[in-house]
Structure 1
Amino acid sequence: MSALLTVSDAHIAYGKVEAVRSVSLEVADNEIVTIIGANGAGKTTLLNAIMGILPLKGRVAFAGADMVQLEIEDRVAAGLSLVPEHRELFATMSVEDNLQLGAFRIARAVAAQSFEQVYTLFPRLKERRRQLAGTLSGGEQQMLAMGRALMGAPKLLMLDEPSLGLAPIIVADIFRIVGELRSAGVSVLLVEQNAQAALQIADRAYVMELGEFVLDGAAKDIASNARVAASYLGFTHEGESAI
């Protein structure tokens, strides 16, 4: 598979404090890649830098084009989209108006197709399309944040902690939809503390600790790694509870 996103030797700093060091990753077409790690490992920082929210020293290439000097809007136009951890919806606007904002850069005909796709993936949003975003449940707000990002017809969707604060049944629904996105031709870069759920759905995984990748490989191999199992999955590789 050809690489859709390539990050090479990325360094990201807050002032003089380097939060991410020498990180490289790839996401291919029609691939789900997850980054797992503890709070403060640098996962969100990396996604924000790829999106252009934070400055990055290194190389970011998307669909063969250099992204480092591009503004956020130009990265979105190129097909890169981020669903942030805190969703950042417009609470006093309707569901449909929030979705419409995600399509502001695309043609009306494409936007109509995007609405159809989003409402097919998230039928609950169609039911609540006139409802104010701030009155939705946490799961519905996450669906809306994902739907808004999908309105721009991205080639790669970056998701930052989509399961945060959600009930297990809603988490299962969100991850099922992520799998459907891959089938629809959208690649996904997923940052997730629920490592078990992320590794079940991903093709490949990176393990991040203290701003660096310490392990990467096929998701099934990462899931069976003894260190990962003990640190992030809550059990040892023999299947016993971790101490």
Structure 2
Amino acid sequence: MSGLLSVSDVHVAYGKVEAVRSVTLDVAGNEIVTIIGANGAGKTTLLNAIMGVLPLNGRVSFAGGDMARMDIEDRVAAGLSLVPEHRELFATMSVEDNLQLGAFRVARAQAARSFEHVYTLFPRLKERRKQLAGTLSGGEQQMLAMGRALMGAPKLLMLDEPSLGLAPIIVADIFRIVTELRRAGVSVLLVEQNAIGALKIADRAYVMELGEFVLSGQASVIAADPRVAASYLGFEVEGAG
């Protein structure tokens, strides 16, 4: 696996309040990495800082390049994309027009390939391509937000709570699509409160508490850790204690 994203000793503060402290993580090519933790742990803040939405102290490199002086558009052009927790779709625009906005930095030929890829991953979006985004169901809006991010042909897709508020059958579909993205060569950094689902599909995991990583390792090992099982998975590991 080749290195793709490297975050080293990152701190993020809101005024004098430090929301993220001494965070170091990496994501390799063709890898799903998940960050699990409770509400307010700093997960969303970290993703926003990596994307350039928030200022940070520390070092972030992507595809071998230092991102310190790169604005958000440059990060997108380099192959980094974020699907925010609240999706931030244009409700009065059609599905197709929302997707087209995601391709604003790519050539027309690439945009055509991206449309084909997105409609293959999300056939429901193709069926509803002329429908206004604001009239879609919650699950369809999540698919559209992911599809829009994929239109720019990213190397790394960062997903912030993609399963939030969705029915279990839709959540299973979203997680299945994340694994398909890895097979297609897109790495994924997944922030999730649904720890059981995230750990099942991830290669590696980080556990975040109060702005810091308290555990990291292979997802299967993290899932079997008694502390993680009790705090985030809702059960105790047999024989632990």
**TM-score bucket (shorter structure):** over 0.9
Per-residue Cα deviation, 1:172-212 (whole angstroms, up to 9, x for no partner)? 00000000000000000000000000000000000000000
AA aligned opposite 1:130: K
Show the 5 A alignment for 1:63-142: 63-142=63-142
Q: How far apart are the structure 2 equivalents of 1:67 and 1:200?
A: 31
SS at the partner of 1:93?
Answer: coil
Q: Could you list the structure 1 runs, at least 4 aligned residues long, displaced by more than 2 angstroms after superposition.
A: none
**Residue aligning to 1:62:** 62
SS at the partner of 1:197?
Answer: helix
TM-score by length of 2: 0.99
Q: How many residues align?
A: 240
Q: How far apart are the structure 1 equivalents of 2:180 and 2:116?
A: 15
Structure 2 gaps of 5+ residues are none
**Residue aligning to 1:237:** 237
AA aligned opposite 1:60: V
**Residue aligning to 2:209:** 209
Instruction: Give percent identity, aligned residues only.
Output: 85
AA aligned opposite 2:164: L
AA aligned opposite 1:65: G
Q: Verify: 1:187 aligned to 2:178, yes or no.
A: no
SS at the partner of 2:92?
Answer: coil
SS at the partner of 2:131?
Answer: coil
TM-score by length of 1: 0.98
Displacement of 1:68 in angstroms is 1.7
Structure 1 gaps of 5+ residues are none
Q: Verify: 1:226 aligned to 2:226, yes or no.
A: yes
Q: How far apart are the structure 2 equivalents of 1:165 and 1:68?
A: 34
Q: How far apart are the structure 1 equivalents of 2:138 and 2:41?
A: 25
Q: Verify: 1:29 aligned to 2:37, yes or no.
A: no
**Residue aligning to 2:149:** 149
Q: How far apart are the structure 2 equivalents of 1:152 and 1:176?
A: 21
